[in-house]
């Protein structure tokens, strides 16, 4: 799982051209509803039409990414002696990172 988390992080960093921020902070920034700044590009899954849907999708993507790193990646990377996950749970966790990777791949980079 750690390898999947690292790969999604690296793909997001490469997409926005920043290597100085990663994981939770990276996704908080790239899916932020704030306008991009010179050194802070955004990823957009939808065009900003001012709708609740636009806001919901990006807030949800941010929260989902935070959850993936906090609840899946961090325990797997920082805790020794965790029991091996049953196959179906490991596949579910992998699917979560797969979905996040798809969103990163499909997103448009918004810059100043």
Percent residues over pLDDT 90 in the chain: 87
- Computed over every residue of the chain, the mean pLDDT equals 93
Q: What are the φ and ψ backbone dihedral angles of 7, each rounded to 5 degrees?
A: -65, -45
**Residues 58-75: what's their mean pLDDT?**
94
Write down the H helix ranges in 17-86.
23-30, 52-67, 74-78
The DSSP bridge partners found for residue 92 are: none
């Amino acid at each position: 799982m750690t390898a999947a988390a690292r790969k999604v992080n690296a793909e997001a960093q490469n997409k926005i051209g920043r290597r100085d921020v990663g994981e939770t902070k990276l996704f908080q920034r790239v899916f932020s509803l704030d306008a991009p700044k010179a050194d802070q590009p955004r990823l957009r899954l939808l065009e900003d039409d001012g709708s609740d849907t636009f806001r919901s999708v990006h807030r949800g993507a941010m929260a989902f990414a935070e959850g993936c790193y906090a609840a899946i990646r961090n325990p797997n990377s920082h805790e020794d002696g965790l029991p091996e996950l049953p196959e179906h749970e490991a596949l579910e966790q992998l699917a979560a990172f797969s979905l996040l990777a798809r969103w990163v791949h499909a997103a448009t980079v918004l810059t100043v």
